[in-house]
Amino acid sequence: MRSALAASADDVHRVIGDIDPILVERIVLTGASCQEIAEAVRELEDERGFGEMHHVGSSTRVAEVRAILDDFYVLDAEVGEEPE
């Protein structure tokens, strides 16, 4: 059961932007709040932009959202790669 602070699909879109509806559903099912989703996004952006090592999120929900987004970013990067 989701807590009262859990983000809705609209909240996920507001925090992350336009992403695949399946990813939105997976994120909503974690029960993460808007703040936890934003924390997961910041962690990934820091790691990708500054090469900073991953640190443990403030909750298991942050870690779950980060894992979902990390999978998305990996798939997104693979789409743009040239075949060998």
What residues have CB less than 8 Å from 43, skipping those under 6 apart?
54, 55, 57, 62, 66
Q: What is the mean pLDDT of residues 26-44?
A: 94
Number of continuous H segments (helices) and E segments (strands) in the chain: 4, 0
Q: What tens digit of pLDDT does each residue of 40-55 get? A: 998 888 877 666 555 6
SS (H, E, C) 22-47: HHHHHHHHHCCCHHHHHHHHHHHHHH
Tokens for 44, please give them: 């990934």
Q: Which residues have a Cβ under 8 Å from the Cβ of 15 and sit 6 or more positions away?
A: 7, 34, 37, 38, 41
Position 79 scores a pLDDT of 46
pTM (2 d.p.) = 0.75
Return the higher-pLDDT residue of 73 and 55. Answer: 73
Contact 41, 69 (CB under 8 A): yes
Q: In the prediction, which pLDDT does 44 show?
A: 85
| Extents of the domains making up the chain | 9-78
